Structure 1
Amino acid sequence: MKNNPKLLITLLVIAILLFITFNTNPFLGIALILLFVLYKLYNSRSFIYALIGNGHFSKGNKEQALHWFQRASSLKSSSPRVITSYGYLLLKEKEVEKSKEILEALQRREALNLQERSQLKMTLALVYWKEGNIALAVSTLEEVFQEFKNSTLYESLGYLLIVQGDLDKALSFNNEALEYNESSTIIKDNLAQTYYHRNELEKAEDIYSKLIPENPTFAEPYYYYGLILKEKGSIDKALEMLKTAASFKESFLTDLTKEEIQNQIEIIEKSKAVV
């Protein structure tokens, strides 16, 4: 990390002033420190509000989380990271238009660094997907991929290539993603899903049989592993997997719905009742 000369000079001046003040009037020195702390807290309101919002979101209090993120992002001192997080939360709550409005306003800022710009575009790509423009979503992520890479990007683009139906490209990309981060449960699921949709069930099963013991916290691995087990005739195990999939809250940022999962459960249960 490069040093910030202005920040270093400011800190040096503050340190000298405090040293002089403490040597002449200790009480005044303490007062100045308190004022400085209060000033920093005031300037850090956006970060503090975002922390409060994160706390509420982790507890499932989505309304309060959105309230605090809205307060955080409305401040002039709000960072691009906070605003992008707010846009992502809005999208998760199906507020597609509002999310797009906030993110596009941020995009018009000139002083975004590579990471800030990349995270913003990655979130906007999800907005485009939910607007029904999967081609624009994929091309936006591919544009980001040219100059920035992280696990989230590999996870998102890998999944959207499957949604788009470009399974050859999805297979190549998701294999590359696994090399980039072999511990990501989402990347493993993306690769297994790719094999499933290519009807390469043995390869998909091999991944899922190792992934399920890791207890992934989303429905897809259990759902697709359940379908594979059903194809193999392992009905009871398939039903167990599908019911586990149904136990997760439905996410707006996936193409898998509760209805699809429940339909598969009902099909198996009806077939068992006939037998």
Structure 2
Amino acid sequence: MPPILKSVLKLIAVLIVIVMAFRVNWLVGVAAIVVILGYFVYVNRSAFYAQRGNLAYMKGDREQALIWMEKAYLSKAFLPKHQIGYGYLLMKTGDLTKAQQMFEEVLQMTKATDIRIQARLNIATVYWLQNKRDEALQILQELSQEVKNTLVYGNYGYFQILLGNVEEALTYNLEAYAYNDSDLTIMDNLAQNYYMLGRLEEAEEMYTKVMAKTPKHAESYYFYAQTLHKLGRTQEAREQLAIAQEKELALVTPLTKEDIALFASQLGKDEVEVVH
């Protein structure tokens, strides 16, 4: 039976129960509504907890987000998409073992293609953060051969850059850009790829498109600043680097906050030298 039909039949059954209860007595009807609402809340408590966790994370309160997500997980009615979110949060807080457990459980419990792809990509990320680069690369290579979608293109394209395979990465990232030329991750990968190859004019052109989408991580602004600096546009580089210093680094990154601070210091010295 299709899920939507099943939901409609359940709704009709609930309405029939409520109507029959009110025919007996209005108090019975009210009691029936209270019981049904209570049952609905209980059955869907995992989704409510997960929503609270998502809201806490959006407010920057990772501790509360973890508490709510753990409650959702322990409720035993955890939706795979919420479990993916919980696993990602665990990665962000450094609990890689438990994050991997979340993703592997998702692979066991669902056949939904999109969810399984996300879980496998996240397991690759866990491996990368655990310095299991070969295992991470194997998953990504398998996915790139099995699937042609924006998510896989974005992830595998980025990891190829991190591995230093910049020529090979460029071929893949150009293919990704041809597939979806409006995705932020794909554009950012291509811009960074051009920068790594020293193709600065092409990097600058692509970064202009990236910045129009207001990327949230520091790496985009840092490498754009590097590109601008090497093109002799130092003041513009300083402006982009100032933004980079205010942004959070991505979960998987070739940079540290110290790298950004060091570059800012170098640009500051350049300014002093120009003044003198």
TM-score between the two structures when normalised by the length of structure 2: 0.88
Contact 1:135 1:164 in 2 (8 A): no
Superposed displacement of residue 98, structure 1: 2.5
Contact 1:56 1:62 in 2 (8 A): yes
Contact 1:80 1:112 in 2 (8 A): no
Aligned partners of 1:148 and 1:229: how far apart in 2? 35
Aligned partners of 2:58 and 2:170: how far apart in 1? 33
Question: Taking structure 1 as reference, are residues 146 and 35 closer, same or farther at Cα in structure 2, changes over 3 Å only?
Answer: farther
Contact 1:50 1:69 in 2 (8 A): yes
Contact 2:50 2:82 in 1 (8 A): yes
Q: How does 1:35-74 map to 2 (within 5 A)?
A: 35-74=35-74
What one-letter code is carried by the residue in structure 1 that aligns with 2:208? S
Contact 2:81 2:115 in 1 (8 A): yes
Q: Which residue is 2:254 aligned to?
A: 255
Contact 2:192 2:223 in 1 (8 A): yes
Contact 2:106 2:116 in 1 (8 A): no
Q: Which residue is 2:113 aligned to?
A: 114
What one-letter code is carried by the residue in structure 2 that aligns with 1:227? Q
Question: Taking structure 1 as reference, are residues 25 and 132 closer, same or farther at Cα in structure 2, changes over 3 Å only?
Answer: same
Aligned partners of 2:118 and 2:100: how far apart in 1? 14
What one-letter code is carried by the residue in structure 2 that aligns with 1:60? G
Q: Which residue is 2:195 aligned to?
A: 196
Q: Which residue is 2:175 aligned to?
A: 176
Query: Deviation per CA, 1:104-146, whole angstroms, max 9, x where unpaired?
Result: 3443x24432222222112111101111123322331333345
Superposed displacement of residue 5, structure 1: 5.8
Question: Taking structure 1 as reference, are residues 43 and 136 closer, same or farther at Cα in structure 2, changes over 3 Å only?
Answer: same
Aligned partners of 1:166 and 1:261: how far apart in 2? 23
Q: Which residue is 2:126 aligned to?
A: 127
Aligned partners of 2:263 and 2:239: how far apart in 1? 12
Structure 2 stretches lacking a partner, 5+ long:
none
Superposed displacement of residue 8, structure 1: 4.8
Question: Taking structure 1 as reference, are residues 62 and 41 closer, same or farther at Cα in structure 2, changes over 3 Å only?
Answer: same
Aligned partners of 2:87 and 2:15: how far apart in 1? 39
What one-letter code is carried by the residue in structure 2 that aligns with 1:128? Y
Q: Which residue is 1:230 aligned to?
A: 229
Aligned partners of 2:215 and 2:6: how far apart in 1? 46
Aligned partners of 2:210 and 2:105: how far apart in 1? 40
Question: Taking structure 1 as reference, are residues 234 and 112 closer, same or farther at Cα in structure 2, changes over 3 Å only?
Answer: same
Aligned partners of 1:133 and 1:30: how far apart in 2? 58
Question: Taking structure 1 as reference, are residues 148 and 44 closer, same or farther at Cα in structure 2, changes over 3 Å only?
Answer: farther
Aligned partners of 1:237 and 1:163: how far apart in 2? 26
Question: Taking structure 1 as reference, are residues 147 and 21 closer, same or farther at Cα in structure 2, changes over 3 Å only?
Answer: farther
Q: Which residue is 1:153 aligned to?
A: 152
Contact 2:169 2:193 in 1 (8 A): yes
Superposed displacement of residue 269, structure 1: 2.0
Aligned partners of 2:123 and 2:109: how far apart in 1? 17
Contact 2:216 2:248 in 1 (8 A): no
Aligned partners of 1:69 and 1:181: how far apart in 2? 33
Structure 1 stretches lacking a partner, 5+ long:
none
What is the number of residues matched between the two proteins? 274
Superposed displacement of residue 92, structure 1: 1.2
Q: How does 1:260-271 map to 2 (within 5 A)?
A: 260-271=259-270
Residue 137 (structure 1) aligned with residue 136 (structure 2): yes
Question: Taking structure 1 as reference, are residues 29 and 63 closer, same or farther at Cα in structure 2, changes over 3 Å only?
Answer: same
Aligned partners of 2:23 and 2:146: how far apart in 1? 53
Q: Which residue is 1:220 aligned to?
A: 219
Q: Which residue is 1:33 aligned to?
A: 33
Stretch of structure 1 that moved more, 261-270 or 110-119: 110-119
Percent of pairs identical after alignment? 35
Q: Which residue is 2:92 aligned to?
A: 92
Aligned partner of residue 173 in structure 1, secondary structure: helix
Q: How large is the RMSD of aligned CA atoms in angstroms?
A: 2.4
